[in-house]
Structure formats: C-alpha cells, structure tokens
Structure 1
Amino acid sequence: MGEQPSPPLRASVRRASRLMEAAEAHTGGAPAWQLAREAGLEQDAAGHLLRALTEDGYLTRLEDGGYVVGTLLDRLRAGSPGEGVPAGVRSSLAALRDEMSAAAYLTFYEEGEIRVAEIVDGPKAPRVDLWVGFEEAGHATALGKCVLRELDDGARGDYLSRHLLGDLTPRTITHREELVRQLEGLSTPSVMDREEYALGTVCIAVPVYSGDTLGSLGISFRSDRMYRPTQAREALLSSAARVSRGLSFTL
C-alpha cells in the first residue's frame, strides 16, 4: 500500500488548495483560465473545483466572471473559541448529523495514535458510549479502521505492533492477519464496523485530510435502524470533501 498514489480525496483537496492559493494572489479577481494555469490544472478539472469552491463559500464569483476568495475562508481561519475544530468545519459535521440523523465524528492520526477531534451529536442523534478510548480501539471502530486502511504498510504495522486487538464484543476482529485482509479487500473508500465496538451500534467512516495529516469522518447509528449504505456513503464523501477543504485552508 505504501507505493499507491495519493487517494482521490487528498489529490482533490491539494488541487483545490492550489486554486485557492492562486485566487488569494489576485485581490481584484482572476478568471478561471488564469487560476487554472497558475495552479497547474487542466481547465475542465479547474472549472469543476471552482464551482464546488464557490458553492461551498470558499470563493466568490464576480460579475465579470473572475474569482476572489470568499468570506467563509476568513471565518474558518478565525475558528470559534472553545471549539476543537474551526467553526465552519463543525458546521459541516452538524449538517451531516442532521442529514443522516446520526452522530458525526472526526478523528486524526497524530503521533502514531488515532484520536477523536470532535463529536457532534444531539437528542435525535446520540453518540455511542465511548466505554473504551478510541486510541485503544482503532481495530474495532469504522473511524479507526478507515485510518488504518489508508496508512502505508510500515505505519500500519507499527500501529498494530503497539496495540492489543482487544475483544470488545463477540464481533470484534482480534487477529491481525484477518483485520489486514479485511481492510485490503475493501473496494470502496468507506469502512464499516458492525457492532464491533459496541453491541447495538453500527458505524461507517471515510477518510479526511488536514493538509497531509490523515483522519476519518464517520457516523454511528443503532444496528436495528433501517439505512441505505449508498446514501450514507455519498453523504459522508460529500461532507469529507468539505471538511478536508476547510481544514486544509485553515493551516
């Protein structure tokens, strides 16, 4: 896995970051073709990203067709006192919670550990009981397995060598070879845990990036709740793109 190219989400965030950097250099605005050239992108790819950045509020399109940095970027950089992540990113988590009626979680892989950065829940979307810390349960949570899946072989091996694959429920994978086989056999960017961390709870997660720092974005819900995996995956991937852009632009 260490030789694989950058995941599509990270590559997209990097392209969007280059466009934002180009736009910031033109306080009076610049047309799409100029931003694409300065960012080193094909015009079609740049056009798609410019539309997405404008819809999300990171850019503003002027009457003459030029683009300037939007006010959302200033709000993201300012953040919100007392919050673990920028206000705009937390708003994306809240929107995901409301759309899916499920608690939303954000984690990062820092200093060799998987750590929860933010949880956004509510009366109709309660969080899972964190009876075992996420740092010790990476093998049993969708959020943790999502991070482990994205790591290269060396980093993943280092993590697994330092963490006991504890038997949290009868469904928990406790054998390293089985866990790695499951992660490498996945064909989509989403990862699930089906009552592996807590009985009665299912989680699904996708990767996010804060610059080059890997993380995961996920939701949890009761195992007896009817849901559509495709809908959940699409909502998570859309939110992950927004969260990754917001995190990257606050660096």
Structure 2
Amino acid sequence: MGGKEGPTLIASVQRAFRLMEAVGAHEGGVPAKQLARETGLALATTYHLLRTMVHEGYVRKLDDSTYVLGEKLGALHGGSRDQVALSRVRPTLTELRDGLSAAAYLTFYEDGEIRVAEIVDGPKAPRVDLWVGFEDAGHATALGKCVLRELDGDARADYLSRHTLNDLTPRTITHRAELLRRLDATPHGSAVTDIEEYSLGTACVAVPIRQGDTLGALGVSLRANRTDRLEGAVSTLVAAAERVSCRLSLTI
C-alpha cells in the first residue's frame, strides 16, 4: 500500500499545479468545464481539486461560478519577494555587526506599525532582549524614534493615537509633548539614539532607510557602558544605510 501512496500523491500535486496554471492564464475568471478541457482532467477531478484550492485560499470562486487565483498565492509571492530583498542586505548587516561588534537591526514602518524585519547578531554582539515588542515600543527605541521622526505630522499623530507611551525603564519618555519636542529637535536624516530607554544596560543608535515609499531604520545596539562608541559608529551606520536602501530598491 505504501508503494502506491507516493506516486498517487505526486500525481495529485502535479494535477493541482497544472490546474492552478490554467486558472492563472485567465485573469477574468474561467469556468470549471473549460479548465477540465484545457488540463485534460476529468470534470469530477477538476471540481474536487478546485474545491480544495478554494478552501485553502489558492483559488477564488467568483459569483458567476468562474475561478481566479486566490489571495494566498499573492501573499506567498510577496513573502518570496521580501526574502529575496532581505538576502541582498544581510551581508551589509553582517559587515555592520562585525565592524562595530554590535548587533544590527533593520525595521520597517508597514501598515501603521514599526516592525523588525531582520536582526544580525552573534556571540560577541548579542541582541537586546526584546522583552516588549517593537510595535509597542516605538517611543522607547532608537529605531522606533528614528521612524517616528521621519514620518509626516498626520502619520505620526495616527501612530501615537494608537500606542501608549509605556514606562519601560526610568529613562523612557512617557509624555507625548516631550517625545515630540525631542523628535523635532533632531534634523531629518540624522542619527537617533536611546540610552537605556528601552532596556537598562543597553544603548542604541539608528538612521533612516527607505525602500521605495516604505520608511524604515537601520540601527545597532551596544552595552550602555560603551556609549562612547556611539558617535563613532554613526558614520559607519550611515554608509551601511545607503547601501541597504540601494539594494532594497533593486527590482526583483
């Protein structure tokens, strides 16, 4: 029985892929009977596979009973693009980590949230303990403040209206007016730091990066007793951010 199962499963997968390719060739939708003819599949098999793919989100059935590709394929393609883009910048983050002996971080502002896209650390450059998610700590991290500083007034106000300025350490800025004053006091494009605002014993510095219309930040973290190295790290960080922005903007 086991000897028959493998080939049978492989054939089913092949038929599903063939059917999905046929659906993709008709952007405006295609009926099941036409798909059966184009793929050479039995109509019953075509209906069975379509029902499964609709259930899983790979195919969508329209109101007129025709079929188009589903949203899940788009999400998979988008995830693949993101991974390709990140693979281009990891060497730069690795160079940054090794050159400064500091963990390197890449964040993006997406759908109104500040999210970590990549962290490159190591035994000699440990990452900060992310005990509070970056989504809820934009006000307390160099990476988050860097993004907030680059946003226009409306986008910044929207973010702050949805996030509480939680007191993470005795150094955390918890008053909105004070946070805005400090953000506006540093010119756009320059480096932003946090000294034990997110985590006691840790200091960070970050600079902005862009991927098309998407804003982000590149930063490093150090032990707080090494803050004397932050100023010297900025020029290295700015050069790395330029390379990251360039590589992220390449067509995939």
Q: TM-score, normalised by structure 2?
A: 0.65
| Distance (Å, rounded) in 2 between the aligned partners of 1:167 and 1:195 | 12
TM-superposed CA distance for 1:87, in Å, is 2.0
Alpha-carbon displacement from aligned partner over 1:64-84 (angstroms, at most 9, x marks no partner): xxxxxxxxxxxxxxx999958
1:143 maps to 2:143 = yes
Match of 1:198 in 2: 199
User: Using the alignment, how far apart are the partners of 1:184 and 1:144 within structure 2?
Assistant: 14
Please name the residue that 1:216 is paired with: 217
Taking only aligned residues, the RMSD between alpha carbons, in angstroms, comes to 2.0
Q: CA, structure 1 residues 101+172, in 2 after alignment: closer, same or farther (shift >3 Å)?
A: same
In structure 2, runs of 5+ residues without a counterpart are 1-78
* Contact 2:206–2:217 (CA under 8 A) maintained in structure 1: yes
Give, in whole Å, the separation in 2 of the partners of 1:163 and 1:80.
Answer: 30
Match of 2:226, SS? coil
**C-alpha separation in 1, matches of 2:98 and 2:231:** 17
Which consecutive unaligned segments of at least 5 residues does structure 1 have?
1-78
SS in structure 2 opposite 1:114? strand
Q: Indicate the residue corresponding to 1:179 in structure 2.
A: 179
Single out whichever of 137-146 and 230-239 deviates more from structure 2.
230-239
Which residue is 1:170 aligned to? 170
Question: Equivalents in 2 of 1:250, 1:158: separation in Å?
Answer: 31
For residue 227 of structure 1, give the secondary structure of its aligned residue in structure 2.
helix
CA change 1:84–1:156 in 2 (3 A) is farther
The alignment of Structure 1 onto Structure 2 pairs a total of residues equal to 173
Q: Which structure has more RCO (C-alpha within 8 Å, separation ≥ 6)?
A: 1
Q: Which residue of 2 aligns with 1:111?
A: 111
Percent of pairs with identical residues? 65
Rounded to whole Å, the distance in 1 between the matches of 2:89 and 2:157 is 31
Partner secondary structure for residue 222 of structure 2: strand
Answer with 97-106 or 181-190: which moved more: 181-190
Structure 1 residues 219 and 84: alpha-carbon distance in aligned structure 2, compared to 1, 3 A threshold = farther
Higher helix share: 2
Structure 2 counterparts to residues 41-190 of structure 1, below 5 A: 83=83, 85-187=85-187, 189-190=190-191
Q: Which has the larger radius of gyration?
A: 2
Give me the whole-angstrom Cα distance separating, in 2, the residues matched to 1:218 and 1:226. Answer: 14
3-state DSSP class of the match of 1:135?
helix
Does the Cα contact within 8 Å between 1:93 and 1:120 map onto a contact in 2?
A: yes
